[in-house]
Structure 1
Amino acid sequence: MTTKSPGTKVLHQKAKGTERERGEGETEVSKERKGKKESESYDSSSSSITSDVSLLFKLLDQLVILKTMEATQQLVCQPVDAFNPLITTSFQVFCILVISHIFHLLLKPLGGPFAQLLAGVVVGPTLLSRINKVKDFFIQASSAKYYQFFSFICRMLFMFSIGLETDIPYLKRNIRALSIVAGGGSILACIFGGPLFWLLSMVFRVTHERFAFYLLILTVLANSASPIVIRMISESKFDTADLGRFALYCALINEMSCIAVFGALRSFTSFSRFGCAILVTLVTVALIILNKYLSYFFNKRNRKNRFVSNSEVFVILFLLTSLSLFAESIGYTAIASCFLLGLMFPRQGKTARTLLHKLTYAVNTFVLPVYFGYTGFQFDLSTVFDKLTLALTVLIILVSAGTKIVGTFAACHYLKIPWNEALILSFLLNLKGNFDLLLINSAPTPEMVWATDVHNLLLSVVVLNTLITGPVVAILLNTEESCAHYPTTLEILNPESELRMLACVYIPRHVSGHVSLISALGGCLSAPIKPYLVHLVELPKKRKSKLMYHQLKDGDQFSDEEEYGGNDVLEINDAVDSFTSETKILIQQSKLVSSFLTINEDLCNGAEDLRVSIIFLPFHKHQRIDGKMENSMEEIRSINQKVIRHAPCSVGIFVDRGQTGFQQPHGSPSVQNIATLFFGGPDDREALACSKRILMHSQISLTVIRFIPTTSSRHNSWINDSSHKDEEVIMAISNIGTENEIDNAFVETFYNRYVAHDKAGFVEKHVRDGLETVAALREISDMYSLFIVGKGRRGISPLTTGMSDWEECPELGLVGDLLASSEMNINGSILVIQRHQHSETDRGLLDV
């Protein structure tokens, strides 16, 4: 639609000269070939028909050889090129990666995209390419095609990767709010785009293709570059925060809307374009359907492998590339098609896992830095020094930023989003450099006489806008800690809000119990969950295999890290895939390879980055066939104890009883009975809060059993056990009274909301001491498949007096340890929960 930047402009001028020389050469060849044909035609009058056919085939062979040699020469090196353009392009990519890495280390708080754009500016005509020798090396006649090719491949891969990683349930739940915020700034930009279009039309004397010029101006003002927003948020570790995810999908909706509107308006300008748009849509839908069948076939074919083979990955990428080339060849961008292919790709199974494994590292490490760097490479600062160009550049940037800020603030005010979060959203949505840049660099038509003058202006606007806005966004994200706040306990979490959980497994035996918990917590559509499952693997001292990469079987291992875990990885993946196909609950899987001495620190750091509210840990014992508990891995016990002490959120230890214990409720024909034991204290309140999420499942019947001391002199017994000093006695009375009041209020609210509406059962048991508590527990030992109880921290209570005599596992607490012991002979599983101890008081009110 417009011409290239100053650097690529020189490339096209050189390319035109080369094409003119090649055209003259082709004319001479055609004349010579014509003379040969005339002479051969004259001689053929006296020859046989067979000789004519043989001569014709010889001429065709010579023509094919000439065309092939010509195409190869054009692709590899033009006669006017001083260097092979493939070498110069590769060296440019290398320079961008190295310089961007240096800038990223020096300017780490400002974010990666800023460093990569700056690296491209340094390599481009602004600095290094101003030197004649560097310019002659980087900017050549054939380099433009290579730059376009690299840009096309990068754009195709990262848009497919973005679609593959998109959280579809989150997008469905928040589509209204996301659309309002994404459209707020864009609508205001369209309103102010009219006067700006009139001004630029007068300045550049636009008389032809005015509608295309108007769409270009509106796209530059309204578009948000989703890849830059995603990169900025992920590097700031805000991709798991509510604000980060909200901004990410706002930018995605904004850009896809701009592409859809631009494509729709352009398709209605003529019948041929409308037909092409319909054709691209049909081909995209056909490939989406084909990918579903291919994914199912590849998963079934590689049932005994960890990943699908490289050839099968190539088939998926070949289809993606074919669709992209087809869409680009008929005049439409492939951004939306690639994103839709990734968005609709089946998430469960080995195919999706392999694609994520292959693409995530490559896209984040190479593709996006090169793409952002090439954006900066096209920018020439010298073109902005003109007074008129500088004034127009500043004006367009102010209009773009102003409309985004005002429109986003208005939308956030309507949705009651805090002003500080609205400010961050407005700046994030003002980042540019993807679809708008593609339109700016698209090939102009002869009617677009304004293209040469407008190109540098709009390119300067896009690059300078991102270079200015990027550091501002990075500073706001790093300083605004309140936006990163997340509930670290279930007690303060709204039961109908999203629950983020992290389940840890060491061996395949642990998977069934943890996916059963995930299934129980995700039984209600109105209470969404975000489950993560991490496979904890001990880091061995030596590699198990000495095979080099080329000696590995196709699709077996991709790196040394993939060797860790052995066949357990395959069994865990199969169990998770089976669970996902049955329940439609997508579990985000990962692997943590570390020494068992420090694996608890890595686990806690990962839980903090994922912003989960609870961590589920497996118990170090497992049940044998005869019902006895046996140690499986003693190291698990020490790890659990360390995680309980240092976890950034609540922790639950799950004691799985196997076939006799808690089973996956999804698809179960019978209703499972679950009991929550409430003795009082913060841990028991956290256990009751977890039960509120579980009771929403239709295949679960929950009963809350509250133990109450029967003694009338309850306060005196606590005082005698606490202290004999007056000051400490008064403090103990105050603490006990406050804790009891909180317990009573919490239980009363639970009763009014759930028990009174027949959603849960409630039983009170009056006991005098620990012996009666044990007897009461024995009475209900065979009635429930799962017992949920708090770890403790109840102080010295008469309810548990004497129960510490047989304590074996302190990490389970008094009641949990008793239930998990073999002496109780309980068939049900046990979930022991410890509430996170905050250093600061949680924000917000208690919503039960």
Structure 2
Amino acid sequence: MEATEQLVCRPVDEFNPLITTCFQVSCILVCSHIFHLLLKPIGQPGPVAQLLAGVVVGPTLFSRAKIVEEFFIQASSAKYYEFFSFVCRLLFMFSIGLETDIPYVKRNIRVIGIIAAGGSLLACIVAAPIFWLLAKVFQVTTERFPFYLVVFTVLANSASPIVFRLVAETKFDTTDLGRLAIYSSLLNEFSCVAFVCALRAFTSLSRFGGALLAALVTLALIFLNKYLSRFFNRRARNSRFISNSAVFLLVFLLTSLSFFVEYVGSITAIASCFLLGLLFPREGKTARTLLHKLTYAVNTFILPVYFGYTGFQFDIKTLNNKVTVFLTLLVILASAGTRLAGTFAASHYLKIPWNEAMILAFLLNLKGNYDLILINTPPQPKLVWATDIHNLLLTVVVLDTLIIGPGVSILLNREESGAQYPTTLEILNPESELRMLDCVYVPRHVSGHVSLISALAGLHNAPIKPFLVHLVELPKKRKSKLMYHQLEDGDQFSDEEEYGGNDVLEINEAVDAFTSETKIFIHQTKLVSSFLTINEDLCNGAEDLRVAIIFLPFHKHQRIDGKMENTMEEIRTINQKVIRHAPCSVGILVDRGQTGFQQPHGSSCTQNIVTLFFGGPDDREALACSKRILMHSQINLTVIRFIPTSSRHDSWINDASQKDEEVIMAISSVGTENEIDNAFVETFCNRYVAQGKAGFLEKYVSDGVETAAVLREIAELYSLFIVGKGGRGSCPLTTGVSDWEECPELGSIGDLLASSEINITGSVLVIQRHRHSDSDPRGGIDD
């Protein structure tokens, strides 16, 4: 890389260029944080503020003053800044690769590919007349082909880091639209990278050899990382993270590869860094440590500096005549026009709504990554056209992002589709992606919840995105911080890392073992909060993650003798608060791991589970959850529907002869609810029971006593009982059951199954369907 070869202090520099560069970084960081504070209330994300900070600090504003220009813009400082920008670029591209949702990309590669290709193909055509016009104006007579590649890249490229951060900061990265934009921009950008690098590689034998060598070294490092990851995981068996020296070694290998790739030329290092992150092993402490360390550094320091330097390079003085202004506007309009037309055409083919297509088009039109690499590293810097073309295209990139960025942020904040996501399993297609949030407090909760994740994932890895959150109580007194040199190797300089004690290590080990065995990746996080408000933080987190269901642990656990013991009464209070205010459906798992439900993945025996259906929205939600579980080949599902004995004679209809309006309305609602139940059960039977995928039984009972008798008969036949919490109104089937109710949050039947009254040996999953209130579409429930 040329910048790394010129990191020397030239005699003409009045100050040490390294001091100048550090001061530039400091000013950009301070200004970007100030702009972010000012622009965040109006919905503008970090990249817009960071680009604007670079423009303000650069020659457009502050650096126009002679004293500032003499200090900031020196002969050697730009080379230092290019070097730091290069290091920033390779780290965040590795981070993006590490965070890429590979299962989602595999499932939607066709849609992503069509969206990405829509604007790029049209840009390839439009780039020809733009290239011809610019070549005439700037009298380009040599190196015309590299010039065309630069013009094509500026028109067709999407800056995936800017799209990634903009979508993430507007909390759209968990929506289908946001993820489609992120991975379409990634595919678009790396298609441009592959196209340009391939054309360059075939221009000469030496370049082709260099590209082949760089590809082989990248492939070798990918395999080496797999070995190192397993080695560091085994070495740090009794630690939360791998050591700092191990992290340094991995970053050193990444940096060395990047320098080598840039040195041999032909291809760019961002492709190698992204592939290293994409193919890095996701399970274990190594990946967790890298994400933990890189996420904060990338979001807080690396990206602000990188985006800020992009804005810093912009100089408004380059727009010094009408021809330059006209050409700048022409290229910006050509870029936006091709992207809009191509994305709308692709979206029309894929039947994507026009409002979402417009957002996709604007997001994919953001510039500022690979196009900047080509602009700042022309094939021969001494060419006559290099400076003029560089200034024009750099102006296009910066202005395009500064214009499009705020506009698309406003569109995202106003987009209603992002607020509309499945909050119940009943309306979720069994074949579509299930987003779920599992909560644990102590390590013994993990086995039951990972078993539930295993069952819901199905044998053929049905689309599922599980999040596991470790809930930790915030101590009233904070521990005193240690000095950095007092920390053990691998620890973090934060008291918060100590919260959870050894439980964190045990939970991580259990999740790592599960991931290694089943290849189901679980996204882990830790929530440290006071138990008085932890339910609010949990609900807010579930809303941000857009999960369809939250699974909570029961406040009792099974002892060695099989009895249930209460050890954390606080969990019960939290569960009661969550089921009242959750933004989605909620399930409470009564785990009897010794005698109950076990992890189906890797098991040689088949487990029998049963869904108890009494009627009502909660039971329909429980049956909808069962649809996902029965897909697993190691599970046999039986649905038992309890029907009132009196319904054979339709005696409840005769009560409608009364003139009492309230009674008639109540009977009418019951009748409507029964019709919904019948239709739901009939659909389930036609799709699953008729095909032999599930069993179905009907039990006629008259009251709660007979219902309890039936439950005692099947107490030892099933390893998992799934039932709805309630919401059935005055149901005769449960009359008398609630007389000994101990835990109302489980409902009458769930409480009976969780108690010792019927000596049940299986685990119990009690599900409550999300209730939408009139005042708040995500809040509250009707008890």
Normalised to the residue count of structure 2, the TM-score between the two structures is 0.97
Sort the Cα spacing of 1:293 and 1:431 in 2 relative to 1 into closer, same or farther, 3 A: same
Indicate yes or no: 2:243 matched with 1:309.
yes
Cα deviation, residue 623, structure 1? 1.1
Indicate yes or no: 2:558 matched with 1:626.
no
Question: Match of 2:455, SS?
Answer: helix
Partner of 2:278: 343
Q: Once the two structures are superposed, what CA deviation does each residue of 1:496-520 show, in whole Å capped at 9, x if it has no partner?
A: 0000000000000000000000000
Partner of 1:477: 412
Indicate yes or no: 2:478 matched with 1:543.
yes
Indicate yes or no: 2:145 matched with 1:195.
no
Indicate yes or no: 2:28 matched with 1:96.
yes
Indicate yes or no: 2:722 matched with 1:788.
yes
CA contact (8 A) 1:655 1:820 kept: yes
Cα deviation, residue 627, structure 1? 1.8
CA contact (8 A) 1:242 1:484 kept: no
State the distance in 2 between where 1:295 and 1:453 align: 47
State the distance in 2 between where 1:591 and 1:724 align: 57
Q: Residue type matched to 2:272 in 1?
A: S
Partner of 2:676: 742
Indicate yes or no: 2:189 matched with 1:255.
yes
Indicate yes or no: 2:290 matched with 1:355.
yes
State the distance in 2 between where 1:665 and 1:838 align: 34
State the distance in 2 between where 1:712 and 1:396 align: 73
Q: Output aligned runs, 1:290-689, within 5 Å.
A: 290-331=224-265, 332-445=267-380, 448-525=383-460, 527-544=462-479, 546-689=481-624
Cα deviation, residue 87, structure 1? 1.4
Q: Residue type matched to 2:44 in 1?
A: L
State the distance in 2 between where 1:558 and 1:323 align: 29
Q: Once the two structures are superposed, what CA deviation does each residue of 1:268-313 show, in whole Å capped at 9, x if it has no partner?
A: 0000000000001000000000000000000001100000000000
State the distance in 1 between where 2:318 and 2:481 align: 56
Indicate yes or no: 2:88 matched with 1:154.
yes
State the distance in 2 between where 1:719 and 1:279 align: 85
Q: Output aligned runs, 1:663-812, within 5 Å.
A: 663-712=598-647, 726-812=660-746
Sort the Cα spacing of 1:446 and 1:805 in 2 relative to 1 into closer, same or farther, 3 A: closer
Partner of 2:781: none
Sort the Cα spacing of 1:446 and 1:664 in 2 relative to 1 into closer, same or farther, 3 A: closer
Q: Residue type matched to 1:91 in 2?
A: F
Normalised to the residue count of structure 1, the TM-score between the two structures is 0.89
State the distance in 2 between where 1:293 and 1:492 align: 44
Q: Residue type matched to 2:501 in 1?
A: G
Cα deviation, residue 725, structure 1? 6.8
Cα deviation, residue 842, structure 1? 9.3
CA contact (8 A) 2:481 2:494 kept: no
Percent identity over the alignment?
Answer: 77
CA contact (8 A) 2:479 2:495 kept: no
Sort the Cα spacing of 1:842 and 1:743 in 2 relative to 1 into closer, same or farther, 3 A: farther
State the distance in 1 between where 2:732 and 2:653 align: 8
Q: Once the two structures are superposed, what CA deviation does each residue of 1:637-673 show, in whole Å capped at 9, x if it has no partner?
A: 0000000000000000000002100000000000000
Indicate yes or no: 2:99 matched with 1:165.
yes
Partner of 1:217: 151
Q: Residue type matched to 2:744 in 1?
A: P
Q: Once the two structures are superposed, what CA deviation does each residue of 1:161-207 show, in whole Å capped at 9, x if it has no partner?
A: 00000001001111111011001000000011111111111111111
CA contact (8 A) 1:232 1:474 kept: yes
Sort the Cα spacing of 1:719 and 1:341 in 2 relative to 1 into closer, same or farther, 3 A: farther
Sort the Cα spacing of 1:667 and 1:712 in 2 relative to 1 into closer, same or farther, 3 A: closer
Partner of 1:21: none
Sort the Cα spacing of 1:517 and 1:550 in 2 relative to 1 into closer, same or farther, 3 A: same
State the distance in 2 between where 1:715 and 1:548 align: 76
Sort the Cα spacing of 1:723 and 1:837 in 2 relative to 1 into closer, same or farther, 3 A: farther
Q: How many residues get paired? A: 774
RMSD: 1.9
Q: Residue type matched to 2:554 in 1?
A: F
Question: Match of 1:107, SS?
Answer: helix
State the distance in 2 between where 1:302 and 1:689 align: 41
- Out of 62, 65, 69, the position equivalent to 1:131 is 65
- Out of 86, 93, 97, the position equivalent to 2:18 is 86
State the distance in 1 between where 2:139 and 2:260 align: 35
Q: Once the two structures are superposed, what CA deviation does each residue of 1:226-280 show, in whole Å capped at 9, x if it has no partner?
A: 0000010001000001100010000000001100110000000000000000001
Question: Match of 1:762, SS?
Answer: strand
Cα deviation, residue 106, structure 1? 1.4
Question: Match of 1:238, SS?
Answer: coil
CA contact (8 A) 1:113 1:232 kept: yes
CA contact (8 A) 1:719 1:729 kept: no
Cα deviation, residue 558, structure 1? 4.0
State the distance in 2 between where 1:216 and 1:744 align: 63
Cα deviation, residue 445, structure 1? 1.4
CA contact (8 A) 1:487 1:613 kept: yes
Q: Once the two structures are superposed, what CA deviation does each residue of 1:672-730 show, in whole Å capped at 9, x if it has no partner?
A: 0000000000000000000000000010000000000111488766998x998711011
Sort the Cα spacing of 1:379 and 1:557 in 2 relative to 1 into closer, same or farther, 3 A: closer
Sort the Cα spacing of 1:446 and 1:341 in 2 relative to 1 into closer, same or farther, 3 A: closer
Q: Residue type matched to 2:442 in 1?
A: I
State the distance in 1 between where 2:735 and 2:623 align: 23
State the distance in 1 between where 2:640 and 2:777 align: 28
Q: Residue type matched to 2:445 in 1?
A: H
Sort the Cα spacing of 1:187 and 1:689 in 2 relative to 1 into closer, same or farther, 3 A: same
CA contact (8 A) 2:118 2:339 kept: yes
State the distance in 2 between where 1:770 and 1:276 align: 78
State the distance in 1 between where 2:558 and 2:697 align: 29
CA contact (8 A) 1:85 1:146 kept: yes
Q: Once the two structures are superposed, what CA deviation does each residue of 1:298-350 show, in whole Å capped at 9, x if it has no partner?
A: 00011000000000000000000000001111223200000000000000000
Indicate yes or no: 2:121 matched with 1:183.
no
State the distance in 1 between where 2:286 and 2:685 align: 47
State the distance in 2 between where 1:365 and 1:842 align: 34
Decide which structure has the larger Cα Rg and report it: 1
- Structure 1: give runs of 5+ residues left out of the alignment: 4-11, 16-70, 844-848
Question: Match of 1:701, SS?
Answer: strand
Q: Once the two structures are superposed, what CA deviation does each residue of 1:563-582 show, in whole Å capped at 9, x if it has no partner?
A: 00000000000000000001
State the distance in 1 between where 2:149 and 2:8 align: 37
Question: Match of 2:646, SS?
Answer: coil
- Structure 2: give runs of 5+ residues left out of the alignment: 779-783
Q: Residue type matched to 1:548 in 2?
A: M
State the distance in 1 between where 2:118 and 2:38 align: 36
CA contact (8 A) 1:676 1:687 kept: yes
